[in-house]
Structure 1
């Protein structure tokens, strides 16, 4: 038998759900409402900042990040912050990986709320941790709720951290003050760290409350964000972690052995666009843009068998597909070829025990051109006939 060179650490992993359905979309020439990346260009001030940065700034940046970017982040997040509280990362995804490497010892438990961004359990297990899962509950009005009794039951003396994503991918939920305060109270009781993934902080259609702003949260919270979603530049992979000095110092120790330094021209460009966004009202324009796109997609689904749930934030909407009688994977496998639209099966974002909760759901992304959203809506109106 040929030797397997893959470590046990990665042998249980397979191709990501995004790679699979993007490939299916491309093969069928389908409109890709699966993977969450914009199909339109970022604003001109963003492109101009990149062009200017590309003319210089070609060598390694300091380990914490380029000083001009750290200054822009401090201006955005709080003038009392210094480099001791900030770490520039290769997108929020690397910030998450570095956080897990910095915090976890073998056997430490991490509470994950389902459905989750698919990197969460992988990052936990690669650091030797053990995920413990708490599923969100869909309500009759289309919103999602966190069962606080189930949340408490997931915390044990082995709990080291909880990852909380708000606004939430893939449901579009924005966590309430009561839910956030319950998370903070449990983290304090069990002496756990909160990893707040807030990459959709500026795409919220109801008030978004930063986790670290809640009473008692700051001393035990690492907040992750990035420019990717906010400025439609997912390929830049420029993110940051912010938190108290002891947590950021630990994260930095791990980060230095992952990329060592983050792309200098992109850091320079990120600093420029953050400065301009603050002064120009860009964030309000962004929120209005995505509110309109969400409403456009929801309206387009009105004539289809898909029933959209409430999206309070992010650029995703979940839809109930039970009228079609197929499970989410079978439906999403067939969609590109039969109707020319790609979507993501949300069971990919659940633990094995809870995958049945997503059996009749699909995730759609509305970070697409108006033309693509309207065309997708027209195609989805033929779903019932296509699956008859």
Structure 2
């Protein structure tokens, strides 16, 4: 027989007091407060988007019917090899390819990447432990930062910098030291000086050759010195090799992983966006140090299920069978480079032809360099000349005084862009 509730004060204490007076309903609602969304500190650390002003003006001009020549973004305008598109079509028609895929990429894709590295650079890679597929190299790089960086950690990056090299670290909670990339030997000396004089020492060195935005290049000995410094000071290395497949005049961009001991200290990111014209396909890779690859795989396992398997199958065919098309694409970019650089030089600009990449890094000519900011000069070209470019200041203070111009338009459009720039900056236009 159960005991009466009155013998259980702990229960009675939870019983409402039925003799309590009723609570009066308020006659007026309290003054409403604005609803606020508080972002995380990592988001608040990000500056305003530097290219927003240009992109907004570009959009408005095109809505108004203006024919704007866009040299601002490195977005390939040429299609992939038809063989790759056909393979994508066939693979997409297979019902077995529509489920979730492994986040690190199917085995045959990773084997094909390892085969390419051996064929092109003489680098031996274990496809299972030393390679991983990414949703474009930018995603892989950002998640590698999450795997390696945290509060109090510091990364050394090039200056000027491609934005994700700065903000991938910041979003991971880390700090950044940026070093001038123009002179490779000085850059290495500055890395050593930073490591000698900074406490705690930098955890990661981020390098990017061919460099975006400046198109600076290096020779293989550079990476031998990077490995030596990494082992001396104990930092990890991430090489962003996005423009591995776009080079001119016989120059072959060296792979970081070809340097002796490179896999002991770092990884390299590559992409099929540039030379293969597969930017929207989002196919990238990371290769090198197995522990760093494992860390990236751990992060990716929580974030994604990998890329569409039909895309991976088409990417295998691209790497295996379309190297001649990739080489031809470099020739196309070289022709465009010559048209743009030659045209700017005839206008009196100080510009050096790049040996690799998809961009020309041009110094703003006088008198405009001394009289206005690089952003204002870029806006002048857009508003008065209908030519969109990327102001160097969008890549950090080290880019002030320069413009980045992409080579994605055809030669005829590039000639037209030069004519419009010349007309915009003519003495009559200045007056």
TM-score (norm 2): 0.82
CA contact (8 A) 2:160 2:395 kept: yes
**What pairs up with 1:226-245 in 2 under 5 angstroms?**
226-245=271-290
Greater RCO (Cα-Cα under 8 Å, separation 6 or more): 1
**What pairs up with 1:252-267 in 2 under 5 angstroms?**
252-267=297-312
Equivalence for 2:375: 329
Task: Describe the SS at the equivalent of 1:196.
Answer: strand
**Shift in CA distance, 164/259, structure 1 to aligned 2, threshold 3 Å:** same
CA contact (8 A) 1:321 1:360 kept: yes
**How far apart, in 1, do the equivalents of 2:392 and 2:256 lie?**
25
**How far apart, in 2, do the equivalents of 1:375 and 1:308 lie?**
18
Task: Describe the SS at the equivalent of 1:241.
Answer: strand
Mapped pair 1:163 → 2:163: no
**How far apart, in 1, do the equivalents of 2:400 and 2:162 lie?**
18
Equivalence for 2:41: 8
Task: Describe the SS at the equivalent of 1:318.
Answer: strand
> Over residues 30-82 of structure 1, what are the superposed CA-to-partner deviations in whole Å (9 max), with x where a residue is unaligned?
10000111223333223223322322311111232122212211211236522
Superposition RMSD in Å: 2.0
Residue in structure 2 matching 1:270, options 315, 318, 321 = 315
Equivalence for 1:87: 132
Equivalence for 2:89: 51
> Over residues 355-384 of structure 1, what are the superposed CA-to-partner deviations in whole Å (9 max), with x where a residue is unaligned?
1x4332111001222222121111111232
The structure having more radius of gyration, on CA atoms, is 2
Segment drifting more, 320-329 vs 123-132: 320-329
Equivalence for 1:368: 409
> Over residues 90-149 of structure 1, what are the superposed CA-to-partner deviations in whole Å (9 max), with x where a residue is unaligned?
1000110111111123211100011111011111011111111101237xxxxx764333
**How far apart, in 2, do the equivalents of 1:224 and 1:98 lie?**
12
Equivalence for 1:149: 189
> Over residues 339-364 of structure 1, what are the superposed CA-to-partner deviations in whole Å (9 max), with x where a residue is unaligned?
010000111212xxxx1x43321110
Residue in structure 1 matching 2:111, options 71, 74, 80 = 71
Instruction: Give the superposition deviation at 1:18.
Output: 4.7
Task: Describe the SS at the equivalent of 1:63.
Answer: coil
Segment drifting more, 174-183 vs 324-333: 174-183
**How far apart, in 2, do the equivalents of 1:220 and 1:148 lie?**
16
CA contact (8 A) 1:46 1:231 kept: no
Q: How many residues align?
A: 376
**Shift in CA distance, 259/5, structure 1 to aligned 2, threshold 3 Å:** same
**How far apart, in 2, do the equivalents of 1:307 and 1:47 lie?**
41
**Shift in CA distance, 59/387, structure 1 to aligned 2, threshold 3 Å:** farther
Q: In structure 1, list runs of 5 or more residues that go unmatched.
A: 139-143
Task: Describe the SS at the equivalent of 1:261.
Answer: coil
Instruction: Give the superposition deviation at 1:10.
Output: 0.4
**How far apart, in 2, do the equivalents of 1:222 and 1:182 lie?**
16
Residue in structure 2 matching 1:220, options 265, 268, 275 = 265
Residue in structure 2 matching 1:283, options 326, 337, 345 = 326
**Shift in CA distance, 304/123, structure 1 to aligned 2, threshold 3 Å:** same
**How far apart, in 2, do the equivalents of 1:80 and 1:190 lie?**
25
Q: In structure 2, list runs of 5 or more residues that go unmatched.
A: 1-33, 119-123
CA contact (8 A) 1:34 1:363 kept: yes
Instruction: Give the superposition deviation at 1:387.
Output: 4.2
Equivalence for 2:345: 302
**Shift in CA distance, 241/20, structure 1 to aligned 2, threshold 3 Å:** farther
Residue in structure 1 matching 2:385, options 315, 319, 339 = 339
Task: Describe the SS at the equivalent of 2:306.
Answer: coil
Equivalence for 1:211: 256
**How far apart, in 2, do the equivalents of 1:229 and 1:59 lie?**
28
Instruction: Give the superposition deviation at 1:164.
Output: 0.7
> Over residues 232-276 of structure 1, what are the superposed CA-to-partner deviations in whole Å (9 max), with x where a residue is unaligned?
121111111111221211111111122232222221211121111
Task: Describe the SS at the equivalent of 1:308.
Answer: coil
Equivalence for 2:227: 184
